[in-house]
């Protein structure tokens, strides 16, 4: 019996390492999608808040959609309550949004006064499923409850040519509810089927160990 103990111990160690590696990957996915402290990711439910969409344009990155819960007094507060950080102008304060989430950086914009007429954050309001360039400043405009607010940045564009956010101000259709067995009642792991992967790895490791045991038995029987 002594010749079977070593392969079994090896199997146990290999399986434990595989499980830890896979769970570590699942943890990385979860932490990468962590909440920013204010607001919530994705669209607000109808009438439950103001959906804010920030398009970083040629500053890099995809448009970000977040929800500022409840009624919002103005566009700047909605932007902040959705979870974005805003840096205003040294001269005009938050009446001029110089940076959103640190972009553009200090090497491109000092934020001393007004930004460049061709490099600035455009402010948009959602109306009837389309973006309309706001005719009012974000500090005085009151967003509609259940409505959309948009911000976009593109270099070399003027007030008349600055494109709106690339995500339309339209709430996606309600997705069908999924049963607990489909979503994983033990917790969300970012949508990746870690349980299946772990099971397959376990079968492969155990199958390989069984082959080792069989081979050693044959050699011991000779």
Q: Which helix (H) or strand (E) holds 86?
A: strand 86-89
Angle of helix 194-221 versus helix 2-32 axis, rounded to 10: 170
Token duo for residue 59:
């500053």
> Does the global pTM surpass 0.75?
no
Q: Check pLDDT > 60 for residue 64.
A: yes
Name residues whose C-beta falls within 8 Å of residue 214's C-beta, 6 or more positions apart in sequence.
none
Tens of pLDDT, residues 33-52: 334 579 999 999 988 999 99
Cβ atoms of 81 and 39 within 8 Å: the answer is yes
Q: How much is the pLDDT for 107?
A: 84
Would the pLDDT of 184 be above 90? no
Non-local (6+) Cβ contacts of 192 within 8 A are 26, 29
Distance CA 36, CA 176 (A): 27
- Tens of pLDDT along 7-27? 444 334 433 333 333 333 333
Q: Both ends of the chain: CA-CA distance in Å? A: 16
Distance, CA of 12 to CA of 34 (rounded, Å): 33
Share of residues in the chain with pLDDT > 90 (%): 50
Q: How many helices (H) and strands (E) does the chain have?
A: 4, 8
- What is 44-153's CATH topology? Ferric Hydroxamate Uptake Protein; Chain A, domain 1 (2.170.130)
Q: Delimit the domains of the chain by residue range.
A: 1-24+194-222, 44-153
Task: Encode burial over 14-35: b for 16+ CB neighbours within 10 A, e otherwise.
Answer: bbeebeeebeeebeeeeeeeee
């Amino acid at each position: 019996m002594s010749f079977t103990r070593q392969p079994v111990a090896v199997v146990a160690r290999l399986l434990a390492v595989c499980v830890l590696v896979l769970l570590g990957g699942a943890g990385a996915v979860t932490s990468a999608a962590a909440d920013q402290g204010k607001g919530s990711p994705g669209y607000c439910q109808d009438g439950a808040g103001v959906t804010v969409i920030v398009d970083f344009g040629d500053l890099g990155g995809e448009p970000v959609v977040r929800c500022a819960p409840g009624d919002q007094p103005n566009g700047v507060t909605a932007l902040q309550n959705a979870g974005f950080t805003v840096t205003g102008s040294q001269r005009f304060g938050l009446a001029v949004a110089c940076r959103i989430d640190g972009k553009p950086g200090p090497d491109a914009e000092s934020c001393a006064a007004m930004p460049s007429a061709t490099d600035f954050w455009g402010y948009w309001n959602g109306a009837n499923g389309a973006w309309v360039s706001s005719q009012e400043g974000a500090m005085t405009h009151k967003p509609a409850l259940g409505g959309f607010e948009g911000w976009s940045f593109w270099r070399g564009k003027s007030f008349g040519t600055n494109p709106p956010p690339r995500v339309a101000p339209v709430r996606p259709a309600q997705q069908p509810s999924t049963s607990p067995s489909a979503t994983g009642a033990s917790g969300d792991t970012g949508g990746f089927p870690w349980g299946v992967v772990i099971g397959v790895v376990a079968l492969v490791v155990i199958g390989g160990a069984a082959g080792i045991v069989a081979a050693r038995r044959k050699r011991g029987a000779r």
